[in-house]
Amino acid sequence: MPTGPQIGAGPQYGQIWHYMTITFGRPGAEPDFNSYTPFQLTNGSIEDMVYALRVELQNVWIDRNMVPVSLIVTARNTISGAGTTHAHVFRDDFVYKNTYAFECKSNFKVNNTTLSNSDNSNVNAVDANPIDGRIYTFRNRVPVFSPSYLVGLTNPQREEITDISAIDQDFDTGVNYDPLLTTSIPHELNAPPLRPAVLFKNAKTSTPVMFAPGGYKMFSMRFSKEATMYTLFKSLCPVDSIGTDGLEITPPGGDSFLMCLKPTIRVGSNNDMALHTQAEFVYRCNVKAGKPAKLPTVQEIN
Statement to judge: residues 31 and 137 lie in one domain: no
Statement to judge: residues 106 and 76 lie in one domain: no
Question: What are the C-alpha distances in Å from 199 to residues 153, 155, 273?
Answer: 12, 16, 24
Position 91 in a domain? yes
pLDDT score at 80: 63
- Domain end point (choices 33, 67, 97): 97
Q: Model pTM?
A: 0.70
Whether the CB-CB separation of 103 and 222 falls below 8 Å is answered with: yes
Statement to judge: residues 107 and 235 lie in one domain: yes
pLDDT band at 175 (very low <50, low <70, confident <90, very high): low
Position 240 in a domain? yes
Indicate if the alpha-carbon torsion angle 190, 195, 201, 207 is positive or negative.
positive
Q: How many residues does the chain have?
A: 302
Tens digits of per-residue pLDDT, 79-124? 666 667 778 889 988 888 899 998 988 899 999 988 776 555 555 5
- Domain end point (choices 68, 97, 126): 97
Whether the CB-CB separation of 213 and 123 falls below 8 Å is answered with: yes
- Asked if the model's pLDDT at residue 182 lies above 80, the reply is no
Position 14 in a domain? no
Statement to judge: residues 202 and 223 lie in one domain: yes
Statement to judge: residues 43 and 148 lie in one domain: no
pLDDT score at 206: 93
Residue 197, φ and ψ in degrees, nearest 5: -65, -20
Whether the CB-CB separation of 20 and 49 falls below 8 Å is answered with: no
pLDDT score at 7: 52
Statement to judge: residues 93 and 109 lie in one domain: no
- Across the range 217-237, mean pLDDT stands at 87
Position 301 in a domain? no
- Across the range 137-160, mean pLDDT stands at 81
Those residues with Cβ within 8 angstroms of residue 16's Cβ, 6 or more apart along the chain or in another chain: 8, 9, 10, 75, 89
Statement to judge: residues 196 and 128 lie in one domain: yes
Closest CA to 17 of 72, 69, 96: 72
- Domain end point (choices 97, 114, 145): 97
Statement to judge: residues 190 and 266 lie in one domain: yes
- Asked if the model's pLDDT at residue 241 lies above 80, the reply is no
Q: How many domains does the chain have?
A: 2
Statement to judge: residues 137 and 283 lie in one domain: yes
Position 219 in a domain? yes
Neighbours of 11 (CB within 10 A): 5
Secondary structure E strands in the chain: 19-25, 39-42, 67-79, 83-92, 99-112, 131-138, 203-211, 216-228, 256-263, 275-288
Tens digits of per-residue pLDDT, 260-301? 888 887 766 667 788 888 888 898 999 988 777 676 665 555
In which domain, by residue range, is 77 found? 19-97
Distance CA 42, CA 84 (A): 16
Between 246 and 92, name the one with better pLDDT: 92
Statement to judge: residues 211 and 246 lie in one domain: yes
pLDDT band at 141 (very low <50, low <70, confident <90, very high): confident
Statement to judge: residues 237 and 217 lie in one domain: yes
39-53, 58-72, 153-167, 238-252: least confidently modelled range: 238-252
Statement to judge: residues 64 and 178 lie in one domain: no
pLDDT score at 71: 92
Distance CA 28, CA 31 (A): 9
pLDDT score at 86: 79
Position 8 in a domain? no
Query: 150: part of which helix (H) or strand (E)?
Result: helix 147-150
Average pLDDT over the chain, rounded to an integer: 77
Position 84 in a domain? yes
pLDDT score at 210: 93
Position 183 in a domain? yes
184-189 contacts at long range (C-beta below 8 A, 24 or more positions apart): 184/154, 184/156, 184/157, 184/160, 185/157, 185/160, 185/161, 186/153, 186/157, 186/161, 189/161
